[in-house]
């Protein structure tokens, strides 16, 4: 579980870095801080929505075990 939390935190940090770099934000500027928070929270919302969609799709899949093959080979 600890590894999952570390991976999640790394994804957030990397995502934040890409947002800062792509929007060319200076986080010492209050206006840029507001832009960063707005874009980051929007991205985080889409991230959770996509995760929810993937989870729902996965749950709906048919995960039953395969049927046994009843054919016999005649030698």
The rounded distance, in Å, linking the Cα atoms of 46 and 75 is 59
The rounded distance, in Å, linking the Cα atoms of 39 and 23 is 9
Supply 16's token pair.
Answer: 């934040």
Supply 42's token pair.
Answer: 């929007």
| 36 within 8 A of 19, measured Cβ to Cβ | yes
Taking the domains of the chain in order of start, what are their residue ranges? 2-48
Query: Tokens 């800062």 belong to which residue?
Result: 20
Kindly report whether the global pTM for this prediction surpasses the value 0.85. Answer: no
DSSP label of 27: T
pLDDT in single tens digits along all 75 residues of the chain: 899 999 999 999 999 999 999 999 999 999 999 999 999 999 999 999 999 999 999 999 888 887 777 766 665
């Amino acid at each position: 579980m600890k590894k999952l939390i570390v991976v999640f935190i790394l994804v957030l940090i990397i995502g934040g870095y890409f947002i800062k770099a792509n929007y060319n934000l200076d986080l010492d500027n209050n206006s840029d801080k507001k832009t960063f928070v707005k874009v980051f929270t929007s991205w985080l919302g889409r991230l959770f929505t996509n995760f929810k969609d993937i989870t729902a799709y996965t749950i709906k899949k048919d995960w039953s075990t395969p049927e046994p093959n009843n054919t016999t080979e005649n030698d």
